[in-house]
Structure 1
Amino acid sequence: MPGVEESIIFLAEEGPGKVLRNTLLTLARSLAGFTLGTAAALALGLLYTLGPLARETLRAVNTVLQSVSVLVWVVVLVMLFGVLSPLPPVLVAALVALPIMLSSLLSGLESANPRLLELAAVLGAGRWSLYKDFLLPSLLPSLVGAGRAALGAALRISVVAEAFGSSGGIGYMIASYYSLAEPRGVFAWGLLLVTLMVALDKLVLERLEEWARRWAALPRQQ
């Protein structure tokens, strides 16, 4: 097994252009999938407020999404769009992020503060205004926390889709060196993925979650 130092040397030999290009490609696909999954979760959250039938339907849909293996999504999407299509990594990331965000959103909507609903009714807020101006801001800390987990999962899973079929990215590089029986390449690009995930979590997501918690605590302090 190659060591950390040997893996870093291998990456240096790959060249900064190649490393940066594939890293940014994986990151862009993961962010696109996460954004798509989050947008879908927010749209479904609005449907959740329509009534009991909508709530039961969304609970069932969320259960199905959580039950389907990621491997199934990857294989099906690669079969549908082709090996070299850029869509499978993005869509797989979206399908992984969606149930994480949706679970947090539905849980928050179910336990919404009744006083908040009463205030919205007194102010004459419609369904869209209630959802956008009252419910979502109150759920911001939990949604940011779920987003932290969802983005990390999206990044991990998009790499799997890249390994199955893609024209670039960290997963593609890992699969390529595996097929060439080059363990240094596998470990080097794997180390790069771990470094990217840790840096993204510590430098961006953790600080964003701390900001959301402080923002939610401001009214209580006043």
Structure 2
Amino acid sequence: MTVTEIDATAARVAARRKTAANIGRRVRVVLLPILTACLVFALWEFVVDHYQISNALLPAPSAVASRVVAVLPFLLKQAVPTTVETIAGFAIATVLGIALAVVISASQFVREAIYPNIVFFQLIPKIALAPLFIVWLGIDSPSRVTFAVFICFFPVVVATLTGLGSVDRDLLRLCRAVGASRWKVYTDVRFPVAIPHIFAGLKIAITFAMIGVIVGEFITAQAGLGYMILFAASQADMTLIFASITLLCVIGLALYAVIVVAEGLVLRRYGD
């Protein structure tokens, strides 16, 4: 066997090992959370059954699953306004947050004037301000969407600013040396580098958006999963509370998964 053939064989073996390692890693990423969740549910079921805990205090996972199946059509109907308002708040916060981050990163004067105020508003407890949005915007959907935007806006701004500011300074000097316009620098250099940071902020923002909508539904709504949780609590119906929370978790995971898929597509587009 020649040296070339030995090198080719070693390369194939290394490639197979790398492929197997990647497959193993992906399997672990999927299976480990599932197995952990199954273990937690099994332990939960055992504790409730062993100590004979009442459903009025803590329903078992099997009881929650049965209730979900029984009321799923009704819960899905209630999930529509919650999901729509969450997506709307997230979308508005994404556009405004990225746009503001671009403006702040482009001007030191704007950064010094605006960014400290953004941080100041972030330090204010958001829940304390929820009634103000109700007073200003009423009890309908606009108040909940606006509150969701207010909650999830900050992570988008900070993550985008971090990404736009993480570009290698030598690369920026090279762009200026070759006469690249500011817009060209943003589209071809800054944004591709900032993509992982932006999506990190979006992953946080989508969860915050749902929290904002649910808080709004606790206060004013006559429909939605947040309203169902509050209604079930008033009736001491713990299985319905957990059934509503279960559907909220499923919706949240689905929205999070959409962002993860979008991140992969965008990174693939930019050759990451």
Same fold per superposition (TM over 0.5): yes
Q: 2:94 aligns with which of 26, 30, 38?
A: 38
**TM-score in terms of structure 1 length:** 0.84
Code of the aligned partner of 1:67: L
Q: CA deviation at 1:123?
A: 4.7
Q: 2:253 aligns with which of 194, 198, 219?
A: 198
SS at match of 2:167: coil
Structure 2 CA distance for aligned equivalents of residues 93 and 167 of structure 1: 18
Aligned to 2:128: 72
1:148-187 equivalence runs, <5 A: 148-187=203-242
Structure 1 residues 132 and 94, CA, compared in 2 at 3 Å: closer, same or farther? Answer: farther
Q: Unaligned 5+ residue runs, structure 1?
A: none
Code of the aligned partner of 1:88: S
Say if 2:71 is the partner of 1:14: yes
Identity over aligned residues, as a percent? 24
Code of the aligned partner of 2:121: L
Q: Unaligned 5+ residue runs, structure 2?
A: 1-57
Code of the aligned partner of 2:260: E
Structure 1 CA distance for aligned equivalents of residues 132 and 217 of structure 2: 14
Q: CA deviation at 1:214?
A: 5.3
Higher RCO (Cα < 8 Å, 6 or more apart)? 1
Aligned to 2:43: none
- Aligned Cα RMSD in Å? 2.3
Structure 1 CA distance for aligned equivalents of residues 235 and 138 of structure 2: 22
SS at match of 1:89: helix
In the TM superposition, structure 1's runs of 4+ consecutive aligned residues that sit over 4 Å from their partners are 210-217
The size of the alignment, in residue pairs, is 215
Q: CA deviation at 1:13?
A: 2.9
Q: CA deviation at 1:216?
A: 5.6
Aligned to 1:27: 83
* 2:167/2:189 contact within 8 Å kept: no
Structure 1 CA distance for aligned equivalents of residues 169 and 255 of structure 2: 36
Structure 1 residues 52 and 24, CA, compared in 2 at 3 Å: closer, same or farther? Answer: same
SS at match of 2:199: helix
Structure 2 CA distance for aligned equivalents of residues 208 and 43 of structure 1: 19
Aligned to 1:93: 148
* 1:101/1:143 contact within 8 Å kept: yes
Aligned to 1:147: 202
Q: 1:58 aligns with which of 86, 103, 114?
A: 114
Code of the aligned partner of 2:151: V
Structure 1 residues 116 and 58, CA, compared in 2 at 3 Å: closer, same or farther? Answer: farther
Structure 1 CA distance for aligned equivalents of residues 102 and 253 of structure 2: 33
Deviations along 1:131-162, one digit per CA (max 9) or x if unpaired, are 34431222011111221111122122321211
